[in-house]
Amino acid sequence: MIQRATMFTIGVEEEYQVVDPQTRELSAGVERIFPGARELVGDAVQYEIILSQIEIATPICHTLADVQRELVRLRNGIILAAERAGLQIAASGTHPFSRWQEQIVTPKERYQLLVDAYGQLIREQVIFGCHVHVGIPDREAAVYILSCARLWLAPLLALAANSPFWEDNDTGYASYRASKWGTVPLSGPPPYFHSHEEYDRAVALLVETKSIEDATRIYWDVRLSERFPTIEMRVMDICLTVDEAVTVAGLVRALVRQSYEQFLRHEPIPQIPVEILRVANWRVARYGLEGELLEAATGLVMPAHELIYRMLDFVRPALEAEGDWQRVSSGVTRLLKMGNGAMRQRAVYKQTGSTRDVVDYVVAQTRAF
């Protein structure tokens, strides 16, 4: 039996916008921030594909209190480094008005290779997400969990949706980031896999046919990490606040743990076609918490709140086992009451009529600890 200490650990990655405080536009100023950020938070800070983006990755965390502490520490460090460079940091899935054409690709080989491979399609991805890793050393179990967790992508995105604007327009979407990312090959929900062997064959075929260079070019909304013994949940927009990010991370870990318990009991998983999952994800990207969503496993259509409570019911045993039920359930309740990031951004715009005021709001929320 795998040692408990190696199971269900959490790592969170957040991608932030670098913003000019005068114009509120995205600023290609990450290189002005990076040295100071390295001094403050060490190797936890990383470059991303454009120079107006900066990423952090928490160390391995064992509790949600660890996640909270690390995200506060890392956001504080990045914000302070940005301020010293005359810049700001914002946590939103898209920038309200900056144009993708004006963003500069980071001059590093791996990013240039992506541009060479995907062209304009990848340059348009001026988007900012949150990825949550959960420790699962058993790869056979991880593949089972992949096939189970794919059924619950929609409620996670509904809570984290935080990208309603694009190039100074209200897109009508709660997560325009998810829709933009969905244009990239091998993004979206993963297929159903019966076994680790079947998963490996599928990856090998993609490599053999030169469809991808290696498995790191698989960008599914939930995938097996190739660098770590983890399941990586990638469906979420970056959350406005640390509290929201901790709530979502707690849900992701509970989903992985509950799926693992089903694996141990050899419970069958509904083999829902990818097409149904893509439709379910499109609906949630479009409507977020404000529309009727599709429960992929049953085909039932219901209000977003009901689908989220169904997910909570599913993962409650795992949350209770981790001692996280009160923290996560109360976090979900707060989110449903105040609205996700997309709803709150729109509320600011409705009040002021200015996407620049939206940027100011996002910057303030990013540092609201």
Domain that holds residue 55: 4-366
Neighbours of 53 (CB within 10 A): 22
Return the exposure string of 209-227: e unless at least 16 CB atoms fall within 10 Å of the residue's CB, then b: eeebeebebbbbbbbbbee
Q: 252-270, pLDDT tens digit by residue?
A: 999 999 999 999 999 999 9
Residue written as token pair 């967790």: 149
Q: 183-200, pLDDT tens digit by residue?
A: 999 999 999 999 999 999
| Global pTM value | 0.97
Spatial distance between the Cα atoms of 205 and 224, rounded to a whole number of angstroms: 17
Q: How many domains does the chain have?
A: 1
Return the exposure string of 116-143: e unless at least 16 CB atoms fall within 10 Å of the residue's CB, then b: eebeeebbbbbbbbbbbbbbbebeebbb
What is the average pLDDT value for the chain, to the nearest integer?
96
For residues 203-217, average pLDDT: 92
CATH number of the domain bearing residue 310? 3.30.590.20
Q: Is a pLDDT exceeding 90 seen at residue 75? A: yes
> Encoding tokens for residue 139?
């790869």
Q: What is the pLDDT of residue 204?
A: 93
Q: What is the pLDDT of residue 368?
A: 74
Sign of CA pseudo-dihedral 317, 323, 325, 328: negative
Q: What is the pLDDT of residue 2?
A: 40
Which residues are CB-contacts of 98 (< 8 A; sequence separation ≥ 6)? 25, 26, 52, 126, 167
